[in-house]
Each structure stands twice: as structure tokens, then as C-alpha cells.
Amino acid sequence: MQNKEKKDPSLEEIQQVVDQEISPMLHGHGGGLTLLKIEDHVLYFRLTGQCCGCPSAWLTTEEVIKGPLLERFPALRDVVVDTDMDNEMVALAKRVLSGDFRAE
């Protein structure tokens, strides 16, 4: 009996599910997510906006993102948050540190 491994979904397929089911919940908290890559049946993503660095990010990842995506895409072994700071937050930090930040 051969063990046929399921083909990974494309980032585009996953993005459709994210746009329809996950992003609305994240946007309600001022956040979002960016899909990065699929490698060895593991999806990597980054939280953005207010979700980036939030103390509840682990819970959000487990319950709002990881569970639904693993259920929808059984070829994925895991869904992992990349904890590097997103470019938007780096740019904001640079503006604040340079004194070029003005509250809107």
C-alpha cells in the first residue's frame, strides 16, 4: 500500500479562505495577516497591524488562524506565525525614533 502524500494548497487558495473567513475577525481588532510561504507542508504567516506583538497573538493564532486552516487544508502539517516585526511596524518605529512622527 503506497502512502500518497497530499499536495500542498497554493498561497492563492489559502488567501481566499483568509480573506473570507479570517481577515474580518482580525480587522475587527485593527490587525491582519500576511501569508509568507509554504515549506515542507508548513504554512508560515506574519501578523500585522495591532495583532503584531499583541499579548493575545498566540491565542489568535491557535484558535482563529491555525485551527480553521488545518481543517480546510489537510495537506498542511502546521501553521506557524513568523514573529519578526512586519515592515509597517519597523517604518513606524523609525519615524518615531527620528522625531518625524506626528499624531494624526
Confidence of residue 94 (pLDDT cuts 50, 70, 90): confident
In this predicted structure, the answer to whether residue 73 has a pLDDT above a threshold of 50 is: yes
Q: According to the model, what pLDDT value does residue 75 have?
A: 95
62 located within any domain: yes
Give the total number of structural domains in the chain.
1
Only one residue has cell 482580525, namely: 26
Residue 104 belongs to a domain: no
The whole-angstrom separation of Cα 104 and Cα 48 is 20
CATH number of domain containing 62: 3.30.300.130
Output the pTM of the full model. 0.73
* Higher-pLDDT residue of 84, 14: 14
Sign of CA dihedral 44, 16, 60, 74: negative
What's the pLDDT score for residue 50?
Answer: 86
pLDDT tens-place string over residues 53-63: 778 888 888 88
Q: What's the domain range around 49?
A: 11-98
Name 81's bridge partners: 45
